[in-house]
Amino acid sequence: MARGATAPLYQQIADELRTQITSRALRAGAQLPTELALADKHGVTRATARQAIGVLINEGLVVSSRPRGHFVRQVDRMIYRPQSEWRPQPASPEMDRFMEEQTSLGREPSQVIGVELVTPPDEVARRLDLDSDQTAVVRRRVRFIDGMPFNTNDSYYPMTLVEGSPIMYPADIPQGANQVLTELGAEQVRAIDEIEVRMPTPDEVHRLDLSAGVPVAVHRLTGYTHDGRPVRCTINVLPGDRHVILFERAKPAPEHETDSTTPGGEPHRVDGSLADRGTQ
């Protein structure tokens, strides 16, 4: 495997730089050698040095700031906890160690970009059990932290359900959308979370101000009433360099006590009709 001698030059250069980065010889935020300096040092042209740096950029290790230079990316992730819709405070005491945050939280202008009436995209219609001609209300927002876009959050509700309720108006809902659903007689008591990982679309790159080498997690939440009726479908797009997704679980009350082997269990191939963005 380690063919060393025959590895392409740009790989060798990239490897050397990567080692310096992972070993912290080059710290987060530090500047890399300029393309010309790299090229000189290794006796190659600037194009080859550029190719080496390109590798690191696509690995998400390096950002380039023209024309200042290339720099080691610094990431700090914030905790994203889907369960907080029901449990503002974690239930497990163990959770504490993950929450020792520098509580910079607070400021969260949670800018609701708008409310629209739409015929929902397929992936949403299927999850909400809507026919292709039924409309849905979508509340789109982009959340910011310190003025930086942080994630996007599109919540779809069946139009027939939320008609006339505060959900239809682009104002903040102080008591929360869940409370509104409860008052409408459609309390959300169960939810299914799907998390998918991929590179962002150009649109997402633009809306979230992503740089190269940053993947996103797509978190799809479908909420159900007690009798299994879907009442909302939320699609969150979370930049990978800004989030850690956190769940806490407890072993369910013993019914039949069937212990399985390992987490992850048997993989099931996803039904094509639900495997969205099949080729992207």
Site residues (CB under 8 A) for a copy of itself, limited to 139-178: 143, 145, 150-151, 153, 155, 173, 175-178
Nearest of 75, 50, 39 to residue 60 by alpha carbon: 75
On whether the CB atoms of residues 197 and 239 are closer than 8 A, the answer is: no
Token output for 89: 């405070």
Q: How far is the CB of 45 from a copy of itself (least distance, A)?
A: 13
60 binds a copy of itself (CB under 8 A): yes
Task: Select the residue interacting with DNA from 21, 26, 51, 222 (CB under 7 A).
Answer: 51
135 binds a copy of itself (CB under 8 A): no
Q: Which stretch binds DNA (CB under 7 A): 6-14, 82-90, 126-134, 243-251?
A: 6-14
The residue (of 43 and 88) whose beta carbon lies closer to a copy of itself is 88
263 binds a copy of itself (CB under 8 A): yes
The residue (of 43 and 88) whose beta carbon lies closer to DNA is 43
The residue (of 66 and 97) whose beta carbon lies closer to DNA is 66
Q: Any bridge partners for residue 154, and if so which? A: 140, 235
188 binds a copy of itself (CB under 8 A): yes
Task: Select the residue interacting with DNA from 44, 125, 130, 235 (CB under 7 A).
Answer: 44
On whether the CB atoms of residues 244 and 78 are closer than 8 A, the answer is: yes
> For residues 67-106, which are near DNA according to CB under 7 A?
67-70
123 binds DNA (CB under 7 A): no
On whether the CB atoms of residues 135 and 157 are closer than 8 A, the answer is: no
9 binds DNA (CB under 7 A): yes
CA-angle at 210, arms to 146 and 217, nearest 5°: 95
Q: Find the distance separating the first CA and the last CA of the chain, reported in whole Å.
A: 31
Q: Is the peptide bond before 67 cis (omega within 30 degrees of 0)?
A: yes
170 binds DNA (CB under 7 A): no
Q: Which does 8 bind (CB under 5 to 8 A by kind): a copy of itself, DNA, none?
A: DNA
Residues in the chain: 280
The residue (of 24 and 41) whose beta carbon lies closer to a copy of itself is 24
10 binds DNA (CB under 7 A): yes
Q: Is the peptide bond before 8 cis (omega within 30 degrees of 0)?
A: no
7 binds a copy of itself (CB under 8 A): no
Instruction: Show Cβ contacts of residue 73 under 8 Å, excluding neighbours closer than 6 positions.
Output: 28, 60, 61, 62, 63, 213, 241
Task: Select the residue interacting with DNA from 43, 88, 147, 174 (CB under 7 A).
Answer: 43
Looking only at the bridges linking them, the beta strands covering 230-239 and 136-145 are unpaired
Q: How far is the CB of 63 from DNA (least distance, A)?
A: 9
Looking only at the bridges linking them, the beta strands covering 216-224 and 136-145 are unpaired
